[in-house]
Amino acid sequence: MGVFPLAAPPPPPPAHVAIIMDGNGRWALGRGLRRIAGHKRGAEAVRTAIESALRLGISYLTLFGFSSENWKRPEAEVRDLMGLLRYYLSNEIAYLNERGVRLQVIGDRARLHPDIGALIEKGERATAAGRRLTLVIALSYGGRSEIASAARRLAERVAAGEIRPHEIDETMIAGHLETCGIPDPDLLIRTSGEKRISNFLLWQCAYAELVFIDTLWPDFTRQDFEQAVREYHGRERRYGAASG
């Protein structure tokens, strides 16, 4: 009787996946709809990403929800986006809790309306016990601004005599970023065919694998997510070291 070799176990999933959710406006305009229709459909695609991350056993999922540059968009669009954000924060917390998902928000909250800030804090408290997945939403966020803020805090500590300039290293800088305590992304996905990272997690994505897909965000599927992870698994991660 023949002996069949055991199938190799699947590779471990990336611990942290970050996504630039791009293409909502083009999705809507291509259908003769207002841009807000694309944003609403895009909010539904967030659930697809969360379910996919849970299915794959990913521990951290970071989504670029609203950039610091997005404040320059037309006032009506920003108002619609803020209304959609209020709805999401008010109505999706129960969904996150049911699935053991912890919510964490990074970005400049001072620019958000106080009621949105209160909803964020309420959602973070309500989901604090989630252990299956940490969902990080970047709102009013910019990578350069985050690094500049960390530099200012370190400069203040030097001026106060708490630390000396020569003590500042990469670990200390990372500890003053908003993502302190969160592992750097292993994989960064951007939808819609654009091939840039748009000021997103500039420090944290130093060694992330970048995967760009043509799918517009509202059409993002579990298959898109899984294909990006398969591409990630097919790459050799050397972290600057020479190949063998």
Mean pLDDT estimate for the chain: 94
Residues 6+ apart with CB under 8 A from 201: 18, 62, 138, 143, 179, 185, 188, 208
The pLDDT of residue 189 is 98
Across the range 24-47, mean pLDDT stands at 95
Categorize the per-residue pLDDT at 236 as very low, low, confident or very high, splitting at 50, 70 and 90: confident
Q: Is residue 122 predicted with pLDDT exceeding 80?
A: yes
Across the range 166-192, mean pLDDT stands at 98
Annotated binding residues for substrate, written as ranges, equal 23-27, 35, 39, 67-69, 71, 73, 190, 196-198
Tens-digit pLDDT profile for residues 75-100: 999 999 999 999 999 999 999 999 99
Question: What is the separation of C-alpha 47 from the centre of its chain, rounded to a whole number of angstroms?
Answer: 13
Q: Is residue 198 predicted with pLDDT exceeding 70?
A: yes
Annotated binding residues, written as ranges, equal 22-27, 35, 39, 67-69, 71, 73, 190, 196-198, 209
Q: Which residues are catalytic?
A: 22, 70
Q: Is residue 223 predicted with pLDDT exceeding 80?
A: yes
Q: Are 205 and 183 in contact (CB under 8 A)?
A: no
CB atoms within 10 A of CB 9: 6
More confident residue, 244 or 29: 29
Share of the chain above pLDDT 70, in %: 93
Residue 137's closest CA among 35, 24, 50?
Answer: 50
Q: Are 218 and 27 in contact (CB under 8 A)?
A: yes
Q: Are 64 and 190 in contact (CB under 8 A)?
A: no
CA distance from start to end of the chain = 40
DSSP string computed for 65-94:
EEEGGGGGS-HHHHHHHHHHHHHHHHHSHH
In the DSSP assignment, the letter for residue 110 is G
The pLDDT of residue 25 is 94
Residues 6+ apart with CB under 8 A from 222: 48, 51, 52, 55
Alpha carbon distance 142, 226 (integer Å)? 27
Residues 6+ apart with CB under 8 A from 121: none
Residues 6+ apart with CB under 8 A from 185: 14, 16, 17, 18, 60, 62, 201, 204, 205, 208
Alpha carbon distance 241, 221 (integer Å)? 34
Across the range 66-71, mean pLDDT stands at 94
Q: Are 81 and 66 in contact (CB under 8 A)?
A: yes
Residues 6+ apart with CB under 8 A from 234: none
In CATH, what class is 16-142+184-232? alpha beta
- Rounded to two decimals, the pTM is 0.93
The pLDDT of residue 10 is 77
